């Protein structure tokens, strides 16, 4: 705004009144930079490309992704279909608490590479540090750890209003001398950063620590699967196991059983057999906030059969989705019980 830019906001969802709403807005207002959440992109790629192509998007110069790690299929669709392969697509990482973008492919030298689905480069003045579980910094490349920031920067939060102790406990106690983001990250062989998801979305399967985002990324590569959400649930023997909520493309010819079998094979091949979800629940849609973020705590409650207290659902775009998922889960449990008996 200080530079004279106009910010365009609208209420509602990306598919109302139809899946072309974003791109009609781009054409009508001549929007230059389009910034959206991966969940919204995954929702839109379910629909025909004609919903994008029918509108003039030549005004677009930059595409941006924010809110959670973006999977490769969504990145490629966003870049090639929406941006026609000509607009730089920047997967940005930041938080409300950081006051601005902290890791992103741009700014960089002109023509510098952009690696799909990676935030890549620290912004000016940002010092990312990857920490091991015992609190020591991890040196070198091709490593993963807890993402921290090593020195102060101008936009950082100073406190939580009325509760400074909570601010210190949440952000500075886990790794003294560092700001703890709550996210995990991977530093590639080239020194680029890839956000792997929230640290509390890491599950421990028989001693193997694995981010749920990694499983989701593998599942999302299936052409019939535009969107998934994986959460961890407790298991008597393994400690935790993955539970996958899967949205399929609207195609009456799809064989759900066959698709689930293929998904199991995908995860086993891309990651390992231990990473294959114990449970697959096919649902029509996922519970999302109006900004497009998946409310995973609701999915966890459903999977753990703790739907008596779902907590605050006022930010859901459509609360009726919860009833849909609970009903689908009850049917799934019934079928599973019948098979066992």
Q: What is the pLDDT of residues 293-314, one digit of tens each?
A: 888 889 999 998 888 888 888 8
Looking at the DSSP assignment, which residues form a beta bridge with residue 195?
185
Confidence of residue 341 (pLDDT cuts 50, 70, 90): low
Percent of the chain scoring above 90 in pLDDT: 65
Q: What is the pLDDT of residues 189-201, one digit of tens each?
A: 999 999 988 887 7
Q: What is the dihedral of CA 255, 74, 193, 128, to 10 degrees?
A: -110
Integer Cα distance of 78 and 38 in angstroms: 9
More confident residue, 208 or 112: 112
Instruction: For the chain, list the domains and their CATH numbers.
Output: 21-91 (3.40.50.980), 121-197 (2.30.38.10), 206-340 (3.30.300.30)
The pLDDT mean for the chain works out to 91
Integer Cα distance of 155 and 100 in angstroms: 7
pTM of the model: 0.75
Q: What is the pLDDT of residues 136-168, one digit of tens each?
A: 999 999 999 999 999 999 999 999 999 999 999
Q: What is the structure's pLDDT at 160?
A: 92
Q: Specify the range with the lowest mean pLDDT, choosing from 94-98, 122-126, 235-239.
A: 235-239
pLDDT, average across residues 280-284: 94
- Orientation of helix 212-219 relative to helix 256-270, angle to 10°: 120
């Amino acid at each position: 705004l200080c530079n004279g830019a106009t910010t365009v906001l609208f209420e509602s969802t990306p598919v109302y009144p139809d899946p072309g709403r974003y791109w009609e807005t781009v054409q009508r207002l001549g929007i230059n930079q389009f910034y959206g959440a991966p969940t919204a992109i995954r929702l839109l790629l379910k629909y025909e490309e004609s919903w994008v192509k029918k509108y003039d998007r030549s005004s677009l110069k930059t595409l941006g992704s924010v809110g959670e790690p973006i999977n490769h299929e969504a990145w490629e669709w966003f870049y090639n279909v929406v941006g026609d392969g000509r607009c730089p697509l920047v997967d940005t990482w930041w938080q409300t608490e950081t006051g601005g973008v902290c890791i992103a492919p741009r700014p960089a030298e002109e023509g510098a590479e952009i690696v799909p689905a990676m935030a890549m480069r620290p912004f000016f003045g940002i010092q990312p540090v990857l920490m091991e579980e015992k609190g020591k910094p991890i040196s070198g490349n091709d490593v993963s750890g807890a993402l921290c920031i090593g020195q102060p920067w101008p936009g950082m939060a100073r406190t939580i209003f009325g509760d400074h102790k909570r601010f210190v406990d949440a952000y500075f106690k886990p790794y003294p001398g560092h700001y703890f983001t709550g996210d995990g990250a991977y530093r590639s062989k080239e020194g680029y950063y890839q956000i792997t998801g929230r640290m509390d979305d890491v599950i421990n399967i028989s001693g193997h620590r694995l981010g749920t985002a990694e499983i989701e990324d593998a599942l999302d590569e299936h052409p019939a699967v535009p969107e998934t959400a994986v959460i961890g649930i407790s298991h008597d023997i393994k400690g935790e196991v993955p539970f996958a909520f899967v949205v399929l493309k609207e195609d009456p010819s799809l064989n759900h059983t066959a698709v689930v079998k293929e998904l199991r094979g995908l995860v086993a091949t891309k990651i390992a057999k231990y990473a294959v979800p114990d449970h697959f629940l096919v649902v029509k849609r996922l519970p999302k906030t109006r900004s497009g973020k998946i409310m995973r705590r609701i999915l966890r409650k459903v999977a753990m059969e703790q739907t008596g207290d779902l907590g605050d659902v006022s930010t859901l775009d459509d609360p009726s989705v919860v009833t849909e998922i609970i009903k689908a889960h009850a049917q799934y449990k019934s079928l599973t019980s019948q098979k066992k008996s």
